[in-house]
Amino acid sequence: MTAIPLPNPTVPGFHPDPSVTRAGDDYYLVCSSFEYLPGLPVFHSRDLAHWTQIGNALDRPGQLALAKIPTLGGAWAPTIRHHDGRFWLVVTEAMGRGSLLFTADRAEGPWSDGIVMQGVSGIDPDIAWDADGTCYVTYSGLRLDGDSPGDHLGIQQVRIDPETGRALEEPRSLWSGTGLMFPEAPHLYEIDDTWYLLIAEGGTERGHAVSIARSTRPDGPFEGCPANPVLSARSTDRPIQNTGHADLVRTPDGGWAMVMLGMRPRGLTRAFSPMGRETFSAPVEWVYGWPVIRPVEPSPPGPPVEHTDDFTAPSLAPEWLSVRTPAADWSSLTERPGRLVVHADGSTMDDPCPRFVGRRQQHQAAEFSVRVDCSGGIGGLSLRIDELHHYDIEVGAGVARARARVGGIGQNWEHPLPTTATTTGEVTVRIETEPLGGTGPDALGPDLVRLSFETDAGRVELAALDGRYVSAETAAAFTGRVVGMYATEGSVAFDRFRYRGEDPPPR
């Protein structure tokens, strides 16, 4: 098998459910974003190895309706395609309006306001066209609402009018895998006059797998590959687990590659994945009309990565996220030039809509820091999985406070701020993640999370907490860690945000 150099992780950090398309010599990739805004990050590459975020597909009010979406809902499993000179994107607004369709002339946007696809009742939609221009939407028939939520009808398909989103027929059942649970994430392709249906099955946890079937027609009947599942890490000791939810694309050299989600679990029993589901890649070889995929292995660790933001740009960079409500509604980059000012409304990180602006943790060893002017309120840094699982370090009202929220349990650690900091309001707060090793009971978790603050009087660490409680498995989350700034009282100004990350060698 001829391998192409595909780095793993390909897009590190919380970037699940990747879908990829090729337009000429350019590649574009999108991922799920769930309750975060802006939604559906868009990445560009020329070689499938080096990816740059060029925007977010859903970056305007009205494209997603997330304000009342519960945790685990939101923007699920997009598919991006380039067809007939336009980019097409279909996605599920889970626990909301259902399946949505967007278009754009350029992948970086602007994208259309979107339409609800009528007659597509399920999740994980795919969009494809045959040679006659007939448009097919293939999806997973999981019911999220109605009279029978939780029922699963397997892989479904309808022909639609792509201009209106209206289904032109009743759904038909297609091939739904080998019998493993949760057949989902279908993608339909015509390759060398044969139609292939690629799906995920086994659940997005450790049993996740990729299976494939083929037919002479886009609507079947489909025959499964004798070697199914064609990719899975289940019951192996591979450092990358949960591999599944895949998409296929031609490589620059004329071959094929697969992008998929996976997880990098750590800890003594490899049970905890702080960054959740990330994007990985693997080369593909076709043998007797079926894809053969190598096991997904991590790339050697690279040098440390550093990002800085002094908030001098006219708008936030596309990597910055807020929860359910747009950050522009309650923050400003112009009120105090060179600082991000966040206006609190009394909500905390325990609430569904905190005043929070964060970015993904992308390395196992990471350090986040920011300088806080707390003279007008209370705020700091939070490492967040969801409103029930987060660690915070905040300052204000003469006190530095570390907070831990794990389910229904909370704990605080407090320390008075020095007089100089109380007078000026300037304090640096820091969150560090320190990967654990060894074989003792102290190594059960993936890492230590250290919460500290620093003033002219020196640095004080308030807490060193077990990272297992802010991991995807403990929280039963579809997301991963997002770390950023928040305010709970008054108005808080932030500047000199710094991120430094690196990965230790695989264990």
pLDDT value, residue 240: 97
Query: What does the block give as tokens for 293?
Result: 């995929």
Return phi, psi of residue 71, to 5°: -55, 140
Q: Give strand pairing partners of 245.
A: none
Q: Give strand pairing partners of 429.
A: 370, 453
Give CA–CA dist 335/373, Å, rounded: 14
| The pairing of beta strand 447-455 with beta strand 377-386 | unpaired
Q: What is the pLDDT along the chain (507 residues), one digit of tens a residue?
A: 445 689 999 999 999 999 999 999 999 999 999 999 999 999 999 999 999 999 999 999 999 999 999 999 999 999 999 999 999 999 999 999 999 999 999 999 999 999 999 999 999 999 999 999 999 999 999 888 766 777 889 999 999 999 999 999 999 999 999 999 999 999 999 999 999 999 999 999 999 999 999 999 999 999 999 999 999 999 999 999 999 999 999 999 999 999 999 999 999 889 999 999 999 999 999 999 999 999 999 999 999 999 999 999 999 999 999 999 999 999 999 999 999 999 999 999 999 999 999 999 999 999 999 999 999 999 999 999 999 999 999 999 999 999 999 999 999 999 999 987 766 779 999 999 999 987 777 788 999 999 999 998 899 999 999 999 999 999 999 999 999 999 999 999 999 999 999 998 866
Query: What does the block give as tokens for 433?
Result: 């993640």
Q: Are 291 and 213 within 8 A, CB to CB?
A: no
Q: Are 140 and 155 within 8 A, CB to CB?
A: yes
Burial of 215 (0-12, 13-18, 19+ CB in 10 A): middle
Give CA–CA dist 333/311, Å, rounded: 7
Among 124, 126, 184, 219, the active-site one is 184
Q: Are 181 and 170 within 8 A, CB to CB?
A: no
pLDDT value, residue 145: 74
Q: Are 257 and 184 within 8 A, CB to CB?
A: no
**Eight-state DSSP code of residue 474:** H
SS3 265: coil
Percentage helix, strand, coil for the chain under 3-state DSSP, each rounded to 5? 5, 50, 45
Length of the chain equals 507
Residue 71: name the closest of 361, 474, 388, 406 by CA: 388
- pTM of the predicted model, to two decimals? 0.96
Q: Which residues contact 290 (CB under 8 A, 6 or more apart)?
A: 212, 214, 225, 226, 227, 230
Residue keyed to tokens 């407090």: 414
Query: What does the block give as tokens for 70?
Result: 């519960």
Q: Please indicate whether residue 184 is annotated as part of the active site.
A: yes
Q: Are 274 and 364 within 8 A, CB to CB?
A: yes
Q: Which residues contact 260 (CB under 8 A, 6 or more apart)?
A: 18, 210, 231, 243, 244, 245, 246, 247, 279, 280, 281, 282, 296
Q: How far is CA 467 from CA 36, 266, 397, 483, in A?
A: 22, 10, 28, 13
CA angle 289, 293, 299 (to 5 degrees): 155
Query: What does the block give as tokens for 338?
Result: 């060179």
Q: Are 247 and 18 within 8 A, CB to CB?
A: yes
CB atoms within 10 A of CB 62: 8
CATH number of 305-502: 2.60.120.200
Buried b (16+ CB within 10 A) or exposed e, 161-192: ebeebebeeebeebbbbbebebbbbbbbbeee
Q: Are 308 and 507 within 8 A, CB to CB?
A: no
Return phi, psi of residue 3, to 5°: -95, 145
Query: What does the block give as tokens for 315?
Result: 């708008």
Query: What does the block give as tokens for 460?
Result: 């004080």
pLDDT value, residue 118: 94
Domain boundaries, the chain: 19-175+239-293, 305-502
Architecture of domain 19-175+239-293: 5 Propeller (2.115)
Give CA–CA dist 304/306, Å, rounded: 7
85: left (phi over 0), alpha (psi -120 to 50) or beta: left
